[in-house]
Amino acid sequence: MKYEYHMDGIDSVGENSTISEDIEIRIVNKSHDRRGMCIGSDSMIYPRNRFVLGDMNASHHADIRIGNFVLINSGGYFSGEGGLIIKDYVLIGANTCILSAGHKYHDRSTPIQRQELTYGTITIERDVWIGASSVILEGVTIGEGAVIGAGTVVTKDVDPYAVVVGNPGRTIKYRGEKPKKGLFERLKDLKSIVTNF
């Protein structure tokens, strides 16, 4: 079934995308630039998902970009306050939490909810499968083609084609061969060997 898009808060939707009418988009102040909530074509967002952009003037990273052929199952929470990029063919299981913002907590004399917010853009590359009830923490990039097992808490970047499970998420295997490191990563390894020598 297709829905008409009259929902406040969605800035653009591509052709053939189906967005459940009951999704919630929370924006305190809209940005005056091109940031917002943009959904590509042929994507599906199932019921009871909440997308948060917050005060877009306070966070200059606040943005949600959802690509083409993306499927988001029901009951998820998607914070785009620190920036959230979901690329093409990503599949997201039910009740997933993606958290691109948090709170500073070091000052014991101020309630945590009054302390500054922290932000970190989350990027989910093409063809990633995120299992149901996973949690993705701020600043993380999930590499192309990776699989995140059901109930995983992803605290660090995930390699392309890695299969990551558990809390905290650990790579248990790769889809096919482990990708070889690029030149930049090999130079970084060399630098750390020389520095620690």
Residues in contact with ligand COA by the rule CB under 6 A: 73, 91, 93, 131-132, 147, 149-151, 163, 165-166, 172
Tokens 């877009």 found at: 56
CB of 113 to ligand COA, least distance (A): 31
Task: Tell me, yes or no, if 106 is annotated catalytic.
Answer: yes
118 or 133: CB nearest ligand COA = 133
Q: Pick the catalytic residue: 6, 32, 61, 106?
A: 106
**Based on CB atoms, which residue is closest to ligand COA, 7 or 165?**
165
User: Which residue is at the shortest CB distance from ligand COA?
Assistant: 149
Helix or strand (DSSP H, E) at 164: strand 162-165
What whole-number distance in Å separates Cα of residue 197 and Cα of residue 192? 8
CB-based contacts of 143, cutoff 8 Å, min separation 6: 125, 128, 157, 158, 159, 160, 161, 162
Residue 77: both structure tokens together: 């929470």
Q: What is the smallest separation between the CB atom of 131 and ligand COA, expressed in angstroms?
A: 3
CA distances from 181 to 41, 123, 174, 187 (A): 33, 20, 14, 10
Q: Residue written as tokens 């063919």?
A: 89
Least Å from the CB of residue 62 to ligand COA: 27
Of 111 and 168, nearer to ligand COA (C-beta) is 168
Positions annotated as catalytic residues are 106
